[in-house]
Structure 1
Amino acid sequence: MSAVETPSSIEEAQAPVQETLEVLYRDEHLIAVNKPSGLLVHRSMIDRHETRFALQIVRDQIGQYVYPVHRLDKPTSGILLLALSPEVARLMGEKFQAQDDVRKSYLAVVRGIPPEQGVIDYALKEKLDKIADKKAKQDKPPQEAITEYRRLQTVELPVQIDRYPASRYSLVEAHPITGRKHQIRRHMKHIAHPIIGDAKHGKGNHNRYFAENLDADRLLLHCKEMIFCHPVTGERLVICAGVDDVFGSLLERFGWNDSAVCAG
């Protein structure tokens, strides 16, 4: 005999499943989550019809308000650090603004083979969002922007995408010294090694090849590690975030898995 469904069990079965994000770190002052690619941090004029936001998801997940302290682009995945009070948000925001004891490490798959390591010192004009940056001064001169990077791995595919019979790509680790909007994406384009999957600053034919042939239909930029001193306790924190299935499958295909591990 089959079990009789009660009204309460039917309601539970039909109730929507609450979306949650992977929590990487949490205490009474801060929470860090692993933001997936394609998720906005907060409302933006970039996607006026978007209904999912990391701030809202985390707020509902932990049952209290959260406050952003740094930027993470919608197509970028990885560590998103949030404060649990306005006071801590201000303290942590000042750290990010001054780059005081804060070091972020990003993984990116780029077109071509850049130098083994380098420093990109190229000023960027700020790109403002009409909602998130509505209080910012609109006509700012280009701001100092510095990114350190090192090449971790390379691969050559026997396919002609541009004018060459083979196509070469690299896995790089980037450390933004300053925190300008889209800094890593714009800086990699500046040195002629755009990030794969970057619809705005990359190359469409390479992006399409990765999407159609390598199942990588996303910006291949991931914030994998963040090191900083806690704004309240002073403790040195090392937060790590693993890559998603899309990025992970690509790393495995190219034999680059070991390079995604945090140094600590």
Structure 2
Amino acid sequence: MSHSPSAPSSAAAGTPGPAAGMPNPEPQALHARVTALLASPAITERRPPAEEPWPLPGPEPLDLAALYAVTDGLVLADGATLLRRGELARATDWLKQDRSLDWPEGLVVLGEHQELVVVLDLDPTGARAGGGILEAPHDGLSTFQRLDRSALGYLERHAGVGPGDPGPEQRLADAIARRDVAALHEALALPLYPGAERNAALGALTLGSLLAAAGDDAGALKAFERSVAARVRAARRGAGALERAAALRACVAAAREAGATTLAEQLAQQR
């Protein structure tokens, strides 16, 4: 993922705000979720709360403020770790310097999970689809996958105490697995995190196949064209034409498998 640095939020540091990309949650609901999380046997280490202030520009996400109010970091049985509040800025600065990372503003090391670094994207300018909780491998720290919209949701899923706050990418993956037309339409209408073009391509291909099987050739054609466009955007420099041809072949095959012969021929003519 490559982004030019963006300016941090002008909101006062230390004043809690909504989690990146999320509506303002009710404090009572947050408290109940945090209580349920901390009661889980999946929590193997819980540190007492500390007086450390929020160390970063912009407001602290409300879910993190609720967590840090009762525990200064966590360790879960599956290895997922939430750093102490006072460690966030130091860990981020150290990693960026050690690996010569050109991260944009708003990316914060939050913890780790096995061989993955867990990163909070505060997305202060709204340039990255609302940010959220990302994972990146230690050997690919500029390649992110968004897992959740909030740190609390991420920890809930790892502890097995709730569905979390899944981001659009997870909703899209679930819709693909269920082959749910309505859910695919809904998920594809949401802004995806930068670098998720192949997810969008697969979702649109799946939607096109389902619509073709239902006899909606016009809707299927739009979905297939969207799949092709997403794959072209994801192609490395200079490989756009090859990727477009491969994407069209996949769409033709999907249309034929769905029994939409005329549509398959129409797509084949675009190659």
* TM-score bracket, shorter-length normalisation: under 0.3
Greater per-residue helix proportion: 2
Greater per-residue strand proportion: 1
Larger RCO: 1 or 2 (CA < 8 Å, sep 6+): 1
